[in-house]
Amino acid sequence: MPCIEISDLTKDFGDGKGLFNLNLKIEKGEVFGFVGTNGAGKTTTIRHIMGFLKPDSGSVTVQGLDCWADSAKIKKLIGYI
């Protein structure tokens, strides 16, 4: 089971802005860099992982926990600054 799994994540802010059908798996022990231009969706993706945003569609899990439904448990597992 991946530590972080993002499946078909979509968050539409209108006017063609947002995340659309993002898929990503990060396995235990992997190091992952998250880079991109301004507006690429880096912060929006991280906010979904932390449970700060609810996806329009798709899912985000951390160690098998749903990032929206189990956000309090996830916040005990990871840090965010």
Query: What CATH number does residue 9 fall under?
Result: 3.40.50.300
Q: Give the dihedral of Cα atoms 22, 75, 31, 64; nearest 10 deg.
A: -60
Determine the structural domain holding residue 24 and report its residue range: 4-77
pLDDT, residue 1, reads 85
Phi-psi region of 31 (alpha: psi -120 to 50; beta: other; left: phi over 0): beta
Going by pLDDT thresholds of 50, 70 and 90, the confidence category of residue 79 is confident
Predicted model pTM: 0.92
Q: What is the pLDDT of residues 21-36, one digit of tens each?
A: 999 999 999 998 989 9
